[in-house]
Amino acid sequence: MINKNLNYIIILLLCEDCFKRAFAMEQNFTNQMASSRHYVFVYGTLKTNEPNHHWFYKNEAGHSNFICNAQTIEKYPLIIATRYNVPFLLHSAGVGHYVKGEIYEVDDIILKDLDELEEHPTFYVREEHFVKCIDGSEKNMKVWIYFIKQFNQKLLNLPMLDHYTNEGEVQFQYVPRYDRNPEYDIKQLILL
């Protein structure tokens, strides 16, 4: 009987140790997830139903979640430029309109994929700014936004939008990278 009770005590001690380890692992996982959570404001082809929206879901190892529709707190020039009709948000606060878009929560994996798409930091530059949710809560959120910072000033002469959509006339529709002429470098037209 003593041996049987001793066995139960050993099993309980082992189970307690396993429980502590499992709890510590869960805490570590939770901390990692919290540190890898980012909020990104998208205003162009990454929005829902737009040509590059699939970048939020193409990497099965990553995680993304729609948070809300939002709008910039400052005015910025949102333009469509080049023969490929690419939307650009120019880093020129106070010029243009309050720009409407969407906020997504993403992990490090998806953020890295978005950086690749936007060619951060050599083309677009990702910066943190506050935007306002416009789905009723009106709360301000600190988010990453992809801007063109060092741009050709002639771009400020183009029509400025308060939101982007790829719907409409064919001559103004976005042309995906795989359909573009590789010898035509849009960076030369946009950047200084």
Residues involved in catalysis: 118
SS3 call for 170: helix
**Tokens 């930091």 label which residue?**
121
Tell me the residue type at 107.
D
* Polymer length in residues for the chain: 192
Q: Which of 166, 153, 40 is nearest to 107 (CA)?
A: 40
Copy the structure tokens of residue 66: 């729609």
The pair phi, psi for residue 158, each rounded to 5°, is: -75, 155
Residue 84 contacts residue 174 (beta carbons within 8 Å): yes
